[in-house]
Structure 1
Amino acid sequence: MQIIGFVLLGFIIWYGFKDRSDAVISAFDAHALVMVLVGSCSAVLVSSSHTTAWRTLLCLREMLPGLALFGRSTRAMEVERNQLSALWRDGKRSQAVDLAANSRFPAVKQMLELILNRANEASSNKTFTELRHEEISRWQPAIHNWEMLAKLGPAFGMVGTITGMIQLFRNMSSENLNIGASMSLALLATLYGVAFGAGVAGPIGHYLNGLLDDRLGLLERCEKSVNEIVSRGER
């Protein structure tokens, strides 16, 4: 992935000095947009493993209704936690065992195992701490990439602006040079970079952080449920 990232960085430098044929002032400039988006992607590839880079891209589905899996799975796990706790408190042990056995969530299976073993609080804390660390190690690198993109988007916008200005100064001797349109095209790269960083990547990173916090909070509630059930059984 790092090699691909460096290749894209080289492409961005080359593409930045490519002549821009459009001389009309417009709010859209494909040249500037490519500089920002491809440059940002190259930074992710350079700093990430194959798995992390792919997971960073998959995080986009969390923003789409119907495709968001992480938040939906957290809510489903919360439902199973409540059901397991209620069944055990009501003395419906066999149903609780069946629920945990058929669950697709490791946390729910661990809850039942700890309850059956009458685990103390130290053992319960160790188990759920490991589960929390697994969630963090799985999702935090991808979230970090989006936070990094929020900072690097404006930087790659400046790359587009600087190369555009160099092109402008190089062609100032041309009789047909439209300085206003040329400067507009150059400065649009900065506009796109700031818009991408502050309006897209930053909010996505913040939203994903919220989803991860919800999952970690749920694991903490699972631990408390286990401790309460074991404590009540001992009494």
Structure 2
Amino acid sequence: MQILGFIILGFVVWFGFKDRGNAQVVSAFDPHALVMVVVGSASAVLVSSSHTTALRTLLCLRELIPGLRLFGHTTAQMEAEREQLYTLWREGKRSGALSLAEKSRFAAVKQMVELILNRSPEVASSKAFLELRHEEISRWQPAISNWEMLSKLGPAFGMVGTITGMIQLFRNMNSDNLNIGSAMSLALLATLYGVAFGAGVAGPIGHYLNGLLDERLGFLERCEKSVNELVARGGS
């Protein structure tokens, strides 16, 4: 994955020196600058990530699309099962709680029943759910960190696009039909795209994903508290 990232990074630098077409025409949309920012930022993610983390970084985008959101939807399902299990056990419906845990596809819910049945002390439940929290963090934090990194790399690759555009401008200064104002405007579009991508896209996505992870960790904390309470009630 790192080799692919370096290859794409080299392509981005090469692409930055390609002719940007008619510098007399200035538009708010410049595909050349867009490629520099988006592809350049993506190459940096590939260099710094394993193939699993890179794929997970891309899949995080589905959390922004209604109907495709999985992480937050799964957390809501887990919370519903936790509340149902807690209620059944408090009401003395142990068989219903055991049946719910047996059918559940969530490790945290199964862990709750196992700890309750064993009347585990708080130290044991704390250790069990600490491991589950570490699993969630190790699974999702690298992808979230990539989005946070993209919020900083976007403006940087925008500057790369602008610098290469300025180099082209200076190289063509002797051209008779060169419109310096238009050429400079075209070069600066890369910086505009970079800032917009970093501050308006990647940064908010990273913040949103951090919120989803916090909700998942909060669910695990509530599971631990529920176990401790039910074990204490059983003991009393």
Partner of 1:14: 14
- Which residue of structure 1 lines up, in the alignment, with residue 169 of structure 2? 168
Partner in structure 1 of residue 200 of structure 2: 199
Q: How does 1:141-220 map to 2 (within 5 A)?
A: 141-220=142-221
Give the Å deviation of 1:181: 1.4
Question: In structure 1, what is the Cα distance between the partners aligned to 2:26 and 2:50?
Answer: 40
For 1:182, the aligned partner's letter is: A
Shift of 1:161: 0.1
- Structure 1 residue 199 displacement after superposition: 0.1
Point out 4+ residue stretches in structure 1 off by more than 6 angstroms: none
Post-superposition Cα deviations, 1:125-145, rounded to whole Å, max 9, x if no partner, equal: 000000000000000000000
Q: Which string of whole-angstrom CA distances, capped at 9 and with x for unpartnered residues, describes residues 100-141 of structure 1?
A: 011111000000000011100000000000000000000000
Deviation at 1:50, TM superposition (A): 0.4
Distance in 2 between the 1:120 and 1:170 partners? 74
**Letter in structure 2 aligned against 1:14:** W
* AA aligned opposite 2:16: G
Give TM-score scaled by structure 2 length: 0.99
User: Partners of 1:13 and 1:197 in 2: how far apart?
Assistant: 19
- Partner Cα distance (2:201, 2:86) in 1: 40
CA contact 1:144–1:205 (8 Å) conserved in 2:
yes
Partner Cα distance (1:6, 1:128) in 2: 39
- Per-residue displacement from partner, 1:135-173 (whole Å, max 9, x unpaired)? 000000000000000000000000000000000000010
1:216 to partner: Cα distance = 0.3
Amino acid across the alignment from 2:118: N
Structure 1 residues 23-102: aligned runs within 5 Å? 23=23, 24-102=25-103
% identical equivalent positions: 78
Residue pair 1:157, 1:193 contacting (<8 A) in 2 also = yes
Cα displacement (A) at 1:180 = 1.6
Aligned partner of 2:117: which letter? L
CA distance in 1, matches of 2:20, 2:214: 45
3-state DSSP class of the match of 2:69?
Answer: coil
When the two chains are superposed, the root-mean-square deviation of aligned CA atoms in Å is 0.5
In structure 1, stretches of 5+ residues that fail to align are: none
Count of residue pairs the alignment pairs up: 235
- Measure how far apart 1:226 and its partner are: 0.2
- Which 5+ residue runs of structure 2 have no aligned equivalent? none
Report if aligned partners of 1:25, 1:180 keep a CA contact under 8 Å in 2: no
CA distance in 2, matches of 1:144, 1:5: 17
Listed one character per residue, the Cα deviations across residues 5-53 of structure 1 (whole Å, up to 9, x for unaligned) are 0001100110001111132011000000000000000000000000000
